[in-house]
Amino acid sequence: MQAPRIIRVPILPLGIINAHLVEGAAGCVLVDAGLPGSEGKVERALARIGRGWKDLKLIVVTHAHVDHAGGAAALRERSGAPIVAHADERAHLIGQAPMTFCPTGWFGRLFVKTPLIHEPYTRADPDILLSGDEALDLAPFGVEGIVRHTPGHTAGSLSVQLTSREALVGDLLASGVLLGGILRTRHAIRPPFEAAPQAVGAELERLVEAGMRTFHIGHGGPLDAREVLRHARGLRHLQPGPSHPQRAA
């Protein structure tokens, strides 16, 4: 099986919101589904590497925020690919329970007041649910690696760990000025929201210890292991901020 290749899918320009295709010899895995209406962007990214919907074998939803899960239902309908998520995110993905947001600073407190993060999306009940610390082998989907539970950003956050020593970690961390952007994209920052910073730090340290050398993220990046470790160690003594409920649709 060939080493996986990672293709960034720009959901919004300048790295503000990213999804990622992981291409293996036998197909592709999509990590995160972007905002509602992102299926055209994913289709164009597949076409750029000579692939089509039939080559998409799995959709990994790292967590249930709209910019990571909003396009999942439509992408599954287009491709037939199953969705995998963690059981702790299912109630949010099917609209059974609202999300909560714990801002990490002034930008998060401002962002939570905007309509974007509260945008409703089509419910997407996962086809594959991971429970606890259960992992999913990606080999049956054509990629060498695993999906594993990395809680902290949300209770059910998932990451993808590849044999190429690359990790796709959703919103465990971010980079850039404010969010993604064109400046300081290789400097790690906390994302606008983070439920349990100490848990995030522990998971990032564990990934570095497992040999991950490059980290692909939902906003900005990619980041190298040294920068990720610096950031992770800075989270050791932080406490989560107050939570804000999701607005009613």
Q: What is the pLDDT of residues 137-158, one digit of tens each?
A: 999 999 999 999 999 999 999 9
Tokens standing for residue 22:
């992981």
Structure tokens at 187: 């400097």
Domain over 5-245 is classified CATH 3.60.15.10: yes
215 or 177: which carries more pLDDT confidence? Answer: 215
Which sign does the torsion angle of CA 92, 118, 152, 73 carry? positive
Lowest mean pLDDT, pick from 9-18, 150-159, 192-201, 232-241 = 232-241
> Please, are residues 51 and 23 in contact by the beta-carbon 8 Å criterion?
yes
Quick one: pLDDT band at residue 11, thresholds 50, 70, 90? very high
What is the average per-residue pLDDT within 31-46? Answer: 98
Sorted by where each begins, the domain ranges of the chain are 5-245
Q: Please state the rounded mean pLDDT for residues 100-119.
A: 91
Cα 100–Cα 204–Cα 159 angle in degrees, nearest 5: 65
Quick one: what percent of the chain has pLDDT higher than 70?
98
Q: Is 136 exposed, middle or buried (0-12, 13-18, 19+ CB in 10 A)?
A: buried
Report d(CA 59, CA 32) in Å as an integer.
Answer: 7
Residues 207-222 have a mean pLDDT of 97
Of the listed ranges 131-135, 154-158, 179-183, the one predicted with least confidence: 179-183
163, pLDDT greater than 70: yes
Phi, psi of 102 (to 5 degrees): -110, 100
Strand partners, 149: 158
pTM, whole model, 2 decimals? 0.96
Q: Distance (Å, rounded) from C-alpha 116 to C-alpha 198?
A: 27
Q: What is the reported pLDDT for 1?
A: 59
Cα 5 to the center of its chain, rounded Å: 17
DSSP H or E segment with residue 101: strand 100-101
Confidence bin at 34 (pLDDT 50/70/90): very high
Residue 43 — very low, low, confident or very high, per pLDDT cuts 50/70/90? very high
Distance CA 161, CA 212 (A): 8
Question: What is the predicted pLDDT for the residue at 116?
Answer: 86
Write down the pLDDT at residue 177: 86
Look at the block and give the residue holding tokens 């910019």: 67
Residue 241 is predicted with a pLDDT of 73
pLDDT of residue 248: 58
Q: Provide the token pair at 14.
A: 């300048």
For 135, the 3-state DSSP assignment is coil
